[in-house]
């Protein structure tokens, strides 16, 4: 590992609880530096899958936190908190403490996701979705990969990619834009518009200048005349055709 890379990784683990994941990545990267054929694919993609899982867990926490808050508000509204519980039965009503516990659990997954996103970008220079969806043979289109594409195209998903760069803009510069570009391709893939996307991304055709156009036009005229002459000759007796050709 280079000194610069060590410094960047040190900044990441100082901010996020991902030291164990860093050690996992560093050991395989060190081996790859000694042997270019050393395969880091499985280790790298296991962390990519973990990032995706964390973001999907966060979405579930958002839902249950919102539902719990609504239940707490309902209990306060009908003054159920003023009623004494039944002796011998646990009070299972939603409480504000439940909301706080859920938010703490969610925060752990947020920090885990942001930390892993940062490690992946700094050490491999890629987004986790590109690793999960792309191979040397092109974009995967299995049921699982299509599901990941659709999930990664939501605003809530994108939020955590942008948040990672906002938290460490110097280290993660370019991450958000790269993800945006990739997400556009996911959209065309999901909607079966790859051909349209290909046309949009092709450079415009260079326009021939006036002299090139004239030269091409003249060549076409000569070719047309030759075709007409050949057609006439083909209809003449062989002797005449040979005389003309001489």
Query: 244: pLDDT confidence band, cut at 50, 70 and 90?
Result: very low
Instruction: Please check the confidence at residue 246 and state whether its pLDDT lies above 50.
Output: no
More confident residue, 20 or 205: 20
At which residue do the structure tokens 């999930």 appear?
151
Instruction: Please check the confidence at residue 2 and state whether its pLDDT lies above 60.
Output: no
Residues 55 and 146 in one domain: yes
Instruction: Please check the confidence at residue 79 and state whether its pLDDT lies above 60.
Output: no
pTM of this structure: 0.70
Residues 230 and 140 in one domain: no
Q: Where are the beta strands (DSSP E) in 94-234?
A: 134-135, 138-139
∠ CA 213-218-223 to the nearest 5 degrees?
A: 125
Residues 84 and 124 in one domain: yes
Residues 58 and 164 in one domain: yes
Give pLDDT, residue 142. Answer: 79
Determine which of 111-115, 151-155, 174-178, 204-208 has the lowest per-residue pLDDT on average: 204-208
Residue 103 · residue 109 · CB < 8 Å: no
Domain range for 227 is 210-245
Residues 172 and 217 in one domain: no
Residues 195 and 216 in one domain: no
Determine which of 44-53, 160-169, 226-235 has the lowest per-residue pLDDT on average: 226-235
39 three-class SS: coil
State what percent of residues in the chain have pLDDT above 90: 44
Distance CA 222, CA 218 (A): 6
Mean pLDDT, rounded, of the chain? 78
């Amino acid at each position: 590992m280079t000194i610069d890379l060590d410094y960047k990784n040190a900044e990441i683990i100082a901010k996020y609880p991902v030291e164990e994941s860093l050690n996992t990545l560093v050991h395989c990267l060190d081996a790859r530096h000694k042997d270019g054929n050393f395969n880091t694919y499985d280790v790298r993609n296991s962390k990519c899958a973990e990032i995706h899982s964390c973001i999907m867990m966060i979405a579930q926490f958002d839902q249950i936190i919102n539902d719990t808050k609504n239940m707490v508000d309902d209990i306060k509204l009908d003054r159920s908190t003023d009623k004494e519980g039944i002796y011998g039965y646990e009070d299972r009503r939603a409480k504000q403490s439940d909301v706080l516990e859920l938010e703490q659990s969610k925060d752990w997954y947020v920090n885990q996701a942001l930390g892993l996103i940062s490690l992946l970008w700094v050490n491999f220079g890629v987004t986790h979705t590109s690793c999960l969806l792309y191979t040397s043979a092109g974009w995967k289109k299995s049921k699982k990969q299509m599901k990941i594409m659709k999930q990664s195209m939501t605003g809530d998903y994108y939020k955590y990619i942008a948040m990672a760069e906002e938290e460490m803009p110097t280290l993660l510069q370019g991450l958000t834009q790269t993800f945006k570009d990739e997400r556009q391709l996911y959209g065309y893939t999901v909607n079966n518009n790859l051909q349209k996307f290909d046309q949009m991304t092709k450079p415009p055709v260079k326009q021939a200048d006036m002299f090139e156009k004239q030269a091409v036009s003249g060549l076409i005229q000569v070719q047309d005349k030759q075709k007409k002459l050949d057609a006439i000759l083909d209809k003449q007796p062989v002797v005449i055709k040979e005389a003309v050709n001489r």
